[in-house]
Amino acid sequence: MPKQPGVWVEVDSQGEYAGGLYVRWNAPELGEAGMRAVAERQDPAAPEWKRYAEVVLLMQTALIGILRLAGFSVVRAEEVDDVAEGDVYVHADTPSSS
């Protein structure tokens, strides 16, 4: 994961949706503070972690809305890859339904 704040983009070069993009909003300081709070307190519901998770969800929703308004075919990345939670997936074109 990148250590700089901002947007991170990765081209999907394999599989059914090759040519699409994964987009992630990145706030490393906020994420690290959340993970540190969970580890130090042994509390998976630490407020710092919950705040980070809420911000990730808000940013994912905002990115999807903005990109759709711009005419892109966009979904929550979990719909394409269940490991990509919190990311956004921009299709290269409309996926075929085979």
For residue 31, the Cα-to-chain-centroid distance in whole angstroms is 13
**Torsion sign, CA atoms 81, 82, 84, 90:** positive
pTM over 0.95? The answer is: no
Residues in contact with 22: Cβ distance below 8 Å, sequence separation at least 6, in sequence order: 9, 10, 12, 77, 81, 84, 87, 88, 89
Average pLDDT, 10 consecutive residues per value, the chain (98 residues): 80 81 90 94 93 93 95 93 90 60
Question: What is the pLDDT at residue 23?
Answer: 93
Question: What is the pLDDT at residue 98?
Answer: 43
Question: What is the pLDDT at residue 75?
Answer: 95
Question: What is the pLDDT at residue 57?
Answer: 93
Q: Are 90 and 70 in contact, with CB atoms under 8 Å apart?
A: no
Look up tokens 């540190």; give the residue. Answer: 36
The single-letter DSSP state of residue 96 is: P
Question: What is the pLDDT at residue 95?
Answer: 47
Question: What is the pLDDT at residue 13?
Answer: 83
